[in-house]
Amino acid sequence: MRPPTTAVLFVAGLTCALVPTLALAQTRTARPSVWDGVYTSEQAGRGKPAYDAACSACHGADLKGVRDNRPLVGDRFWQDWGEDSLGTMFSVVRRTMPRNAPASLTEQSYLDIVAFVLQQNGYPYGTGELTATAINDIWIMRKEGPGPVPNFSMVWVVACLEQEPDKAWVLARTSEPVKTRNPAPSEGADLDRVKATALGADTFGLLDLPSKPAAHAGQMVEAKGLLIRGPRNKLNLTSLQLLGSACSQ
């Protein structure tokens, strides 16, 4: 029997704030980045007192974190937000922060705070302010340009589900990993983007595969999970769904 157009094989019991997948690897190079001067020094100046009042108790006056709250500068900032749209960061901050009063600030205040965080991470300012209209198209990347998604990021890939001679299940011909905030199977416009993604050349190992999906060998799938880079890249799965077609040779 042919598989349905979309079938969910596995969804792990993860809970996460759901944010639309705004980032596609194919479009990264066409977008402006945080290195293009996307905020003004005046905007960052407004963001500092707003940050001090709403954020510093948890993230520190120096943005390096307090107790178990994550830093907003340096390697931790890159791990959380690198190779993603600045709009993803803005959406998460606006909906969930401050922790004791989420979504309680004005949109402008959240934009100013993001501008301040960019300033503290050494990204240059420009002549125009950061706006809600433009923020989704701004990419957080290294100065030298787009690069691989950071290790231990939540990602999605398109691949062929295959079984190797030692009986291990793998994702063959895996596409370039793309960051996501949604561990569940893609739907709607996000699923359309996934289906339009070309296969790649890598092979990923699979962790936390609860069953042996022998009936689906050779099928194209969307896989989501925690990216673990190594001699062989792996995904610690949160979801796996069929995309409705067999992988061509």
Q: What is the pLDDT of residues 222-240, one digit of tens each?
A: 999 999 999 999 999 999 9
- Answer whether residue 29 shows pLDDT above 70: no
Residue 108 CA, chain-centre distance (Å), reads 24
Q: Which residues pair with 246 in a beta bridge?
A: 219
In whole angstroms, give the CA distance from residue 202 to residue 204: 7
The answer, yes or no, to whether residue 28 has pLDDT greater than 70, is: no
Q: What is the pTM of this model?
A: 0.78
Are residues 119 and 38 in contact, defined by beta-carbon separation less than 8 angstroms? no
Whole-number pLDDT of residue 213: 83
CATH 1.10.760.10 domain span(s) along the chain: 34-140
Q: What's the pLDDT at 13?
A: 57
Contacts of 110 (CB under 8 A, 6+ apart): 90, 93, 94
229/249 Cα distance (integer angstroms) = 26
Helix 41-54 crosses helix 107-120 at what angle (to 10 degrees)? 100
CATH class, 34-140 region: mainly alpha
CATH 2.60.40 for the 7-24+148-246 domain, yes or no: no
